[in-house]
């Protein structure tokens, strides 16, 4: 693109300042725009920021899984990720009505991560615990977590894995809970400390290889 030759610096200044040229009794300068004969192909590209999969078994972790036997509720899904799950409600008539509930409102916890990449967390959802509330949240109390671990998950792990794996695992939810807060208790650190690094729990993970994940689940 080029301007005609009679477009001086003064005229450019007037153009940029929004001052008309008619006051100078001059014709409005034209622009000479050459047409391009070159054509360009339009290509599409994709940027995958994240993906979500609904798994029926822990065996999706082909290289094993890193498990937290004392999950941290701060690692729950806290933002709307535009996914919903049907939650049943039994009406007075006896019929069942399903509500599409955002999954970040459904009680859940972070079980761990897939060993092949720490950026793929594994969440367990408990839709049966969902209750309608003006301020819904996904928090699961320690008593419920203890029941899930001590009655269901940990006995299955101890049934199928051998001693070389089990020797490194906690025997109960309470023992896992004691371990994650052991450092702060031994150091006498309080939650009210001004140092944000102090008083925090340790995020301890335990490895479970692939070979028995299907049977455990």
Q: How far apart are CA 30 and CA 5, in angstroms?
A: 10
Is the distance from CB of 98 to CB of 66 less than 8 angstroms? no
List of the chain residues with pLDDT < 70: 1-7, 16-38, 186-199
Q: In sequence order, what are the residues at sequence separation of 6 or more whose Cβ sits closer than 8 angstroms to the Cβ of residue 97?
A: 88, 89, 90, 91
Which residue's entry shows tokens 């409102």? 105
Beta bridge partners of 86: 100
User: 85: helix, coil or strand?
Assistant: strand
What local confidence, expressed as pLDDT, does residue 156 receive? Answer: 94
- The reported pLDDT for the residue numbered 197 is 46
Look at residue 172 in the predicted model and tell me its pLDDT: 93
Map tokens 């940027």 to a residue. 47
The pLDDT assigned to 80 comes to: 86
| Three-class SS state of 118 | coil
Token match 């049934």: residue?
Answer: 159
pLDDT for 83 equals 86
Burial of 40 (0-12, 13-18, 19+ CB in 10 A): exposed
Q: What is the pLDDT of residue 99?
A: 87
User: Looking at residue 149, what is its pLDDT?
Assistant: 94
What separation in angstroms does the CA of 83 have from each of 45, 108, 121, 130, 185? 24, 14, 16, 16, 40
The Cα–Cα gap between 184 and 112 comes to: 22
Calculated CA dihedral for residues 177, 181, 182, 188, nearest 10 degrees: -150
Tokens (6 digits) for 130: 């969902």
């Amino acid at each position: 693109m080029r301007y005609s030759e009679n477009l001086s610096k003064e005229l450019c200044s007037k153009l940029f300042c929004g001052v008309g040229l008619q006051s100078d009794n001059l014709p409005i300068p034209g622009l000479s725009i050459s047409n391009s004969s070159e054509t360009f192909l339009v290509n599409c590209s994709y940027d995958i920021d994240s993906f979500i999969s609904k798994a029926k078994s822990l065996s999706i972790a082909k290289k094993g899984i890193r498990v937290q036997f004392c999950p941290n509720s701060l690692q729950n899904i806290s933002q709307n990720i535009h996914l919903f799950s049907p939650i049943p409600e039994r009406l007075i008539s006896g019929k069942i009505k399903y509500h599409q509930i955002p999954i970040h409102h459904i009680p859940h916890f972070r079980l761990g991560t897939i060993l092949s990449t720490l950026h793929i967390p594994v969440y367990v959802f408990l839709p049966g615990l969902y209750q309608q509330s003006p301020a819904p949240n996904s928090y699961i109390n320690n008593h419920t977590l203890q029941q899930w671990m001590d009655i269901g998950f940990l006995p299955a792990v101890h049934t199928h894995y051998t001693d070389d794996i089990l020797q490194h695992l906690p025997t109960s939810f309470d023992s896992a809970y004691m371990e994650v807060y052991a450092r702060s208790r031994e150091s006498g650190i309080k939650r009210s400390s001004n140092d944000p690094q102090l008083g925090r729990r340790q995020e301890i993970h335990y490895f479970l290889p692939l070979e028995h994940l299907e049977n455990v689940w």
